[in-house]
């Protein structure tokens, strides 16, 4: 090629490069502008859905103006001149902050998720249609007083005002746009259904009965009975009866939405004799799932004869746990046996009939239609026997000869919201105790403190008395031998008032001794949280609110105190530990038993305990069955106690004895930690694995997790510490704990120290969306005051006015 041609080619090529650079530059600019436009539109949509928290809004149906003051933490203080306007405003304001959460909650409890999500949730919808929480809510409404029915109606009107305004203005929360639907109107039944779901989440032990039923089909009677929380009378005979009446539980196990086995709480009250102020103090931190937004919504409600502050589930009116100007109260779960599974025999000639006392009885049939997004609706038939709904079948084919029906106190009409109204107005223990007569499900440990100096405790709720059996396993449904004969008399429920020791504490522990004449439960929580609470409360003669706050965040691991020395002693008999194993042993030997996020020992111990469970229980107990094993940690602890004491134990002995189990599980735990955090145990950190991000429901779809979830934050504590922090074993995600913590000193009952993780608002752009993550993960609190001079200082004032006033 000639020089002139080469030069010409180079020039042409150079021009092309310049042209392509221009093209790429223009394209890049276009993409930037396009992305900017997309993000701008997204921001505009999100911004439009933010609640109006200042100025004036017209609300249809209000009788008089209502003032809503949001304090610096986003807590609404609602000032109304009458109850009608108060509860309308509460419904409106809660919907402003939490409408998507409210809608999703009622859908889950009602079995209506598939309508907005698709066929992935059809089996879950079938599960909740079978349980019938919404049917139970509908049956409960009639038992409420006119006053409570009005409260539910007024609240629903307030929610609907917000829904209609948001639809008309195109300002529904972003989640509705992402999922492509609009919420339907709210109803009183929606509120009651959410209440029934919370009873389900806290309400009983059906899954444990199902687990023991399934276990009996797979292992010897001796091995099965070792995994019972206590040895039942005639145990071998019971196991044989279960084997003789097999039910296929595969669909139930696959579809069941199992409550977290660690659902529970801490609460305690201190008398004035132990309090620095001379008045009682109360602390409460209910342990439930952690999410964005929080399961709890903090509110202060004010009317002429009412001033109450605390928390409620979004979608439910009133304040369920909190304080007024005279009294404070807190709850933990009793965990009583209020559910029984009955083995029902089906008529081979009519699948809708079941045997009882030698005759075939027809089941009540509910024909449910489950709407499915983008697909035809699914027809589903629910059968309900005299004992309750059949929950063991999710296929249309009812060909099994036997099935399991659920009897449960919460499926009967109950009146918890009646109690909630009366709690708010109680001025002393007698009035509060009278309110408890209306609180039936779920049974709760109530602690109480009053400015007159009274402290009290009561295990309250309907707990059945059985003709025969103790709710350990499913029982025959074709005979009357196992029917309920009534409930523990209300006057005889466990109660304590002003005990001499000066405090009362509960942490889902056993609340009765052997002298108590009635059966309450076979399963109580591990005792470590309760033991630690008592240790701390007894360590000082006088306590301050700061002591109670520190205790709520306490991370001392008494499970490790009990078992780690014995496990290390057993492990020391192995002379061929790998170098990294020896390093981990030294790490554990020097551990102070604090589940500190900066330490490596909590990681090693948590992994070791979990691996012990895998080594001991698998393969006999499958991963699917593990879902139903509600007493796993309690049973594991008892097996370890026996084995470390040198007593025969078939599960551990069957895996080679405690020495082999300890070594194998330890090596697997070390390998797991090494794979996550490297070969140097000195650099391991519990908090690098054990982190909380307060997952949003849409965060399950990546990359939406980056938008809706909080930034992952290292978290201390564990499942057995007072500062509870349960986690997903596969990911380390902290998904369970005290989303709300509160401490109240009755020397000034107009204020409380609180934290709501991750924040008050469910709106992504709100400054109160994730603003309490740091407080929650570091044990800090904010002050919520019922004094208008305090909360009005934040300046976030919204005036809700009657729509007719604006028109005039």
Residue % of the chain over a pLDDT of 70:
92
Per-residue pLDDT band for 470 (boundaries 50, 70, 90) equals: confident
Pinpoint the alpha helices (H) of 227-278. 235-243, 250-255
Please determine, for residue 241, whether its predicted confidence score (pLDDT) is greater than 70: no
Q: What is the dihedral of CA 490, 202, 696, 740, to 10 degrees?
A: 50
Residue % of the chain over a pLDDT of 90:
83
pLDDT confidence of residue 41: 47
Beta bridge partners of 798: 55, 68
How many Cβ atoms from other residues are within 10 Å of residue 304's Cβ?
10
pLDDT confidence of residue 249: 82
Instruction: Give the separation between CA 139 and CA 154, rounded to whole angstroms.
Output: 20
SS (H, E, C) 182-236: CCCCCCHHHHHHHHHHHHHHHCCCHHHHHHHHHHHCCCCHHHHHHCCCCCCCCHH
Task: Check if the beta carbon of residue 258 is closer than 8 Å to that of residue 232.
Answer: no
Per-residue pLDDT band for 1 (boundaries 50, 70, 90) equals: very low
What stretch of H or E contains 39? helix 3-49
Lowest-confidence pick of 346-350, 451-455, 468-472: 468-472
How many Cβ atoms from other residues are within 10 Å of residue 514's Cβ?
4
Instruction: Taking residues 277-292, report their average pLDDT.
Output: 98
Q: Domain-by-domain residue ranges, the chain?
A: 1-49
Phi, psi at 763, each rounded to 5°: -100, 125
Instruction: Give the separation between CA 355 and CA 747, rounded to whole angstroms.
Output: 61
Token output for 808: 């005039």
Instruction: Give the separation between CA 12 and CA 191, rounded to whole angstroms.
Output: 74
Phi, psi at 46, each rounded to 5°: -65, -45
pLDDT confidence of residue 37: 46
Lowest-confidence pick of 177-181, 247-251, 337-341: 247-251
Per-residue pLDDT band for 9 (boundaries 50, 70, 90) equals: very low
pLDDT confidence of residue 235: 59
Q: What is the dihedral of CA 154, 158, 161, 167, to 10 degrees?
A: -130
3-state DSSP helix/strand/coil % of the chain, to nearest 5: 45, 20, 35
pLDDT confidence of residue 88: 98
Please determine, for residue 574, whether its predicted confidence score (pLDDT) is greater than 90: no
pTM recorded for the entire structure: 0.92
User: Chain-wide mean pLDDT for the chain?
Assistant: 92
Instruction: Give the separation between CA 176 and CA 762, rounded to whole angstroms.
Output: 13
Task: Check if the beta carbon of residue 458 is closer than 8 Å to that of residue 488.
Answer: no
pLDDT confidence of residue 245: 73
pLDDT confidence of residue 217: 86
pLDDT confidence of residue 236: 58
Per-residue pLDDT band for 569 (boundaries 50, 70, 90) equals: very high
pLDDT confidence of residue 237: 64
Give the residue with greater pLDDT, 604 vs 204. 604
pLDDT digit string, tens, across residues 388-407: 999 998 655 556 789 999 99
Instruction: Give the separation between CA 302 and CA 731, rounded to whole angstroms.
Output: 44
- CA distances for 61 relative to 85, 86, 145, 154, 161, angstroms: 8, 12, 22, 9, 9
Instruction: Taking residues 503-515, report their average pLDDT.
Output: 95
pLDDT confidence of residue 218: 87
Per-residue pLDDT band for 671 (boundaries 50, 70, 90) equals: very high
pLDDT digit string, tens, across residues 588-632: 999 999 999 999 999 999 999 999 999 999 999 998 899 899 889
Contacts of 375 (CB under 8 A, 6+ apart): 118, 119
pLDDT digit string, tens, across residues 726-755: 999 999 999 999 999 999 999 999 999 999
Please determine, for residue 15, whether its predicted confidence score (pLDDT) is greater than 50: no
Instruction: Taking residues 189-204, report their average pLDDT.
Output: 93
pLDDT digit string, tens, across residues 702-728: 999 999 999 999 999 999 999 999 999
pLDDT digit string, tens, across residues 767-798: 999 999 999 999 999 999 999 999 999 999 99
Q: What is the dihedral of CA 589, 593, 597, 599, to 10 degrees?
A: -20
Instruction: Give the separation between CA 562 and CA 585, rounded to whole angstroms.
Output: 17
Lowest-confidence pick of 227-231, 576-580, 655-659, 761-765: 227-231
Residue keyed to tokens 């194993």: 581
Please determine, for residue 672, whether its predicted confidence score (pLDDT) is greater than 50: yes
Please determine, for residue 532, whether its predicted confidence score (pLDDT) is greater than 60: yes
Instruction: Give the separation between CA 477 and CA 481, rounded to whole angstroms.
Output: 9
Token output for 160: 């609907």
Please determine, for residue 653, whether its predicted confidence score (pLDDT) is greater than 90: yes
Please determine, for residue 5, whether its predicted confidence score (pLDDT) is greater than 70: no
Task: Check if the beta carbon of residue 157 is closer than 8 Å to that of residue 88.
Answer: yes
DSSP 675-701: HHH-S-GGG--HHHHSEE----GGGGS
């Amino acid at each position: 090629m000639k020089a002139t041609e080469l030069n010409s080619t180079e020039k042409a090529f150079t021009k092309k490069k310049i042209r392509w650079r221009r093209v790429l530059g223009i394209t890049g600019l276009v993409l930037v502008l396009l992305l900017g436009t997309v993000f701008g539109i997204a921001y505009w949509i999100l911004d439009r859905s933010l609640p109006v928290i200042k100025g004036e809004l017209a609300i249809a149906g209000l009788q008089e103006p209502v003032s809503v003051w949001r304090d610096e933490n986003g807590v609404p203080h609602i000032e109304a001149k009458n109850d009608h306007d108060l509860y309308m405003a509460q419904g409106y304001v809660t919907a402003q902050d939490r409408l998507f959460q409210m809608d999703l909650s009622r859908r889950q409890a009602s079995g209506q998720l598939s309508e907005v999500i698709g066929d992935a949730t059809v089996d879950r919808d079938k599960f909740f249609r079978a349980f019938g929480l919404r049917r139970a809510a509908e049956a409960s409404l009639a038992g409420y007083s006119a006053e409570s029915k009005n409260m539910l109606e007024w609240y629903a009107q307030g929610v609907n005002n917000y829904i209609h305004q948001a639809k008309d203005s195109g300002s529904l929360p972003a989640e509705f746009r992402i999922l492509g639907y609009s919420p339907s109107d709210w109803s009183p039944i929606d509120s009651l259904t959410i209440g029934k779901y919370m009873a389900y989440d806290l309400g009983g032990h059906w899954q444990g009965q199902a687990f023991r039923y399934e276990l009996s089909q797979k292992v010897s009677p001796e091995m099965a009975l070792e995994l019972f929380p206590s040895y039942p009378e005639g145990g071998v005979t019971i196991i044989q009866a279960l084997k003789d009446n097999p039910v296929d539980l595969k669909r139930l196990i696959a579809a069941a939405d199992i409550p977290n086995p660690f659902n529970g709480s801490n609460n305690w009250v201190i008398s004035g004799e132990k309090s620095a102020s001379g008045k009682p103090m109360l602390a409460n931190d209910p342990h439930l799932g952690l999410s964005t937004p929080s399961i709890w919504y903090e509110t202060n409600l004010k009317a002429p004869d009412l001033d109450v502050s605390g928390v409620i589930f979004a979608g439910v009116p009133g304040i369920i746990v909190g304080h007024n100007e005279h009294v404070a109260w807190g709850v933990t779960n009793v965990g009583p046996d209020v559910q029984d599974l009955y083995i029902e025999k089906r008529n081979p000639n009519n699948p809708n009939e079941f045997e009882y006392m030698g005759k075939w009885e027809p089941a009540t049939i509910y024909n449910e239609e489950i709407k499915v997004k983008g697909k035809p609706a699914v027809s589903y038939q629910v059968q309900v026997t005299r004992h309750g709904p059949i929950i063991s079948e999710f296929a249309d084919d009812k060909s099994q000869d036997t099935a399991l029906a659920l009897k449960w106190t919460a499926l009967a009409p109950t009146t918890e919201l009646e109690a909630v109204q009366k709690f708010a107005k109680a001025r002393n223990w007698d009035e509060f105790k009278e309110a408890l007569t209306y609180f039936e499900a779920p049974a709760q440990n109530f602690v109480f403190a009053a400015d007159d100096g009274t402290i009290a405790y009561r295990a309250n709720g309907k707990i059945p008395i059985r003709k025969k059996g103790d709710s350990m396993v499913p029982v025959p449904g074709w005979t009357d031998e196992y029917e309920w004969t009534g409930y523990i008399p209300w006057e005889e429920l466990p109660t304590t008032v002003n005990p001499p020791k000066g405090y009362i504490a509960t942490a889902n522990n056993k609340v009765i001794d052997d002298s108590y004449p009635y059966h309450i439960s076979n399963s109580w929580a591990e005792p470590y949280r309760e033991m630690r609470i008592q240790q701390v409360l007894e360590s000082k003669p006088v306590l301050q609110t700061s002591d109670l706050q520190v205790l709520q965040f306490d991370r001392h691991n008494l499970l490790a105190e009990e078992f780690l020395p014995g496990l290390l002693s057993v492990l020391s008999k192995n002379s061929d530990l790998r170098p990294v194993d020896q390093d981990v042993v030294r790490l554990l030997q020097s551990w102070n038993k604090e589940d500190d996020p900066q330490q490596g020992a909590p990681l090693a111990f948590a992994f070791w305990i979990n691996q012990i469970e895998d080594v001991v229980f698998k393969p006999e107990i499958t991963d699917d069955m593990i879902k139903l094993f509600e007493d796993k940690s309690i049973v594991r602890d008892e097996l370890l106690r026996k084995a470390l004491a040198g007593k025969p134990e078939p599960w551990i002995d069957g895996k080679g004895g405690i020495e082999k189990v300890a070594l194998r599980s330890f090596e697997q735990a070390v390998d797991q930690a090494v794979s996550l955090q490297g070969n140097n145990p000195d650099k391991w950190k519990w908090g690098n694995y054990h982190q909380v991000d307060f997952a949003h429901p849409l965060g399950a779809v990546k990359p939406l997790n980056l938008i809706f979830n909080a930034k992952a934050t290292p978290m201390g504590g564990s499942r057995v510490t007072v500062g509870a922090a349960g986690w997903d074993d596969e990911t380390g995600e902290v998904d369970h704990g005290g989303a709300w913590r509160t401490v109240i000193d009755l020397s000034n009952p107009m204020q409380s120290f609180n934290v709501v993780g991750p924040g008050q608002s469910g709106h992504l752009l709100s400054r109160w969306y994730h603003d309490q993550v740091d407080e929650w993960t570091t044990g800090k609190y904010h002050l919520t005051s019922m004094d208008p001079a305090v909360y009005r200082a934040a300046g976030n004032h919204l005036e809700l006015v009657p729509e007719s006033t604006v028109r005039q």
